[in-house]
Amino acid sequence: MNGKLKGKHFITLRDWSNDEINLLLDVAGDLKRKFYMDVPTPYLPYKTIFLMFFEQSTRTRNSMEAGIAQLGGHANYLDTGTMQIAHGEVAKDTATILSSYGHGIACRHCVWGVGNQYITEMAKYASRPVMNLQCDLYHPMQGVADLMTIKEKFEDTKGLKVSIIWAYATSHKKPISVPLTQCLLFTRYKMDVTLAYPEGFELPDWVIEESKANALASGGSFKISHDIDEAFKDADVVIPKNWGSWSSKQENVDIELFKDWKCTEARMALASDRVCYMHALPADRGNEVDDSVIDGPHSIVFQEAENRLHTAKAVMALTI
Ligand code: CP
C-alpha cells in the first residue's frame, strides 16, 4: 500500500487495492468494537461532510449521518431537489463550492448513464474526498459492508460459494450497482461466485469479463447461470435481489414471467447447511423473498445493515 488514504476518493472499489480494502475493514472492526463498548471515537472533530441525495435512502443516509456524529463531526443533508442543481448549476461549481466549506462530499445519484459521470465530475474539481453513496454503476459502501459481514460469518472466503441471484420485485426498479459491485469485489477475495438471472437481466459485458479476470487472478471462480435452483444448490451465501433492466435491448422483457424467481424456504433447503441469506435492503417481502426466510435463522440482513454504519465510519475516518 502506498501512502495514506487521506483525500482519496471512494467512488468505486476498483480504485482501491485489496490492501486498502483490508485496512478499511480492520478500521471498521475496531470502530464496531468501540461502538459496542461506548468508547468515544472522535477522529474527525469539527469536520463537515455534505451528503447529497438525488434519491431516497434509509441505511445510507443514516449510517453516514450517525457515523460522522460519532466521529465528532457534522453532516449537512442536502436534498438535491432543493439545491440550485434544479436550476442547472453544474457538478464542477457545486463540488468546488461545497469542498471549500467543509471536508468531504458524498453523493447518491442512480440515474442510468448520468449518476457515475456526475460523481466523477465532482471528484475532478473537489478539493476534498468525494464518496459515492450509490450511482448507476457502483455501490461501494454496500460492497464493503457486505464483505465485512461475510468475513465475520466465515473465517476464510477462499472457495466460499456465493450466489448473486436476480429476484422478482414490484416495489421499484432497482439499480444494477449492488450485484455489479458484489461480482467485481467478491471475485477478488477468492470466492466461487455464481451470477444467476433470467435471460434479459444480464450485467454489462465488461463486468463479466472483469469478474472472470479477478477470479482467475485470485484463485476464485465466476460463472453465470439461468437456473435459480442451480444457483441455490450447495451455496454458502445467497443474495437474491431484484435489479432492473439497464439497456434498451432489455426494455421489452416481461418481468411477470419471472415471478418464480423468489427466495423461498424450499430453495434455502437446497443450499449448504451453513447458508447465509443476505440482502442490501430494502427487500420486497413476499416477492423477492418469503418472510420466513428473511426473518428466519439463516438471515443476516440486519448484521449486514448494521455494518453499513461501521464501514461508513471507516471510509470517512480514513479519507477525510
Ligand atoms: N442498501 C441501501 O443502500 O439502502 P438505502 O437505499 O436505504 O440507503
DSSP track, 89-125: --HHHHHHHHHHHSSEEEEEE--TTTHHHHHHHHHHH
| Whole-number pLDDT of residue 218 | 98
Between the CA of 289 and the centroid of ligand 1 the distance, in Å, is 17
1 in a domain, yes or no? no
Q: Is residue 272 part of a domain?
A: yes
* Co-location of 69 and 206 in the same domain: no
Locate 266 and state its grid cell: 424450499
Output the domain CATH number for residue 298.
3.40.50.1370
Identify the pLDDT of residue 249: 59
pLDDT value, residue 3? 60
pLDDT digits (tens, 9 = 90+) for 263-280: 999 999 999 999 999 999
State what percent of residues in the chain have pLDDT above 90: 92
State the distance from the centre of ligand 1 to the C-alpha of 216, rounded, in angstroms.
31
Q: Is residue 5 part of a domain?
A: no
Q: Is 55 in the pocket of ligand 1 (CB under 6 A)?
A: no
Number of domains in the chain: 2
Return the pLDDT at 248: 61
Q: pLDDT value at position 88?
A: 97
Pocket test for ligand 1, best of 134, 141, 148, 288 (most atoms within 8 A of CB): 134
- In 3D space, the residue among 227, 259, 11 whose CA is nearest the CA of residue 122 turns out to be 11
Residue 4 lies in a domain: no
161 and 269 share one domain: yes
Q: Which three cell numbers stand for residue 227?
A: 437456473
Atom from ligand 1 closest to the CA of residue 139: 3
In this structure, the residue with its CA closest to atom 4 of ligand 1 is 59
Neighbouring C-beta atoms of residue 153, cutoff 10 Å: 17
Domain membership flag for residue 2: no
**Below-50 pLDDT ranges, the chain:** none
**Residue 76 within a domain:** yes
Distances (CA, A) of 80 to 43, 124, 189, 285, 311: 28, 19, 36, 29, 24
* Domain that residue 132 falls in: 13-139+307-319
Task: Note whether 48 and 73 are same-domain residues.
Answer: yes
pLDDT of residue 244: 84
Q: Which residues of 212-249 are buried (b: 16+ CB within 10 A; e: fewer)?
A: bebbeebebbbebeeebeebbbebbbbbbbbbebbeee
> How does pLDDT run across 110-143, given as a tens digit for each residue?
999 999 999 999 999 999 999 999 999 999 999 9
Contact 306, 29 (CB under 8 A): no
pLDDT of the residue at 171:
76
Element (H, E) at 318: helix 301-319
> For a pocket test of ligand 1, which of 52, 55, 57 has the largest count of ligand atoms closer than 8 A to its C-beta?
57
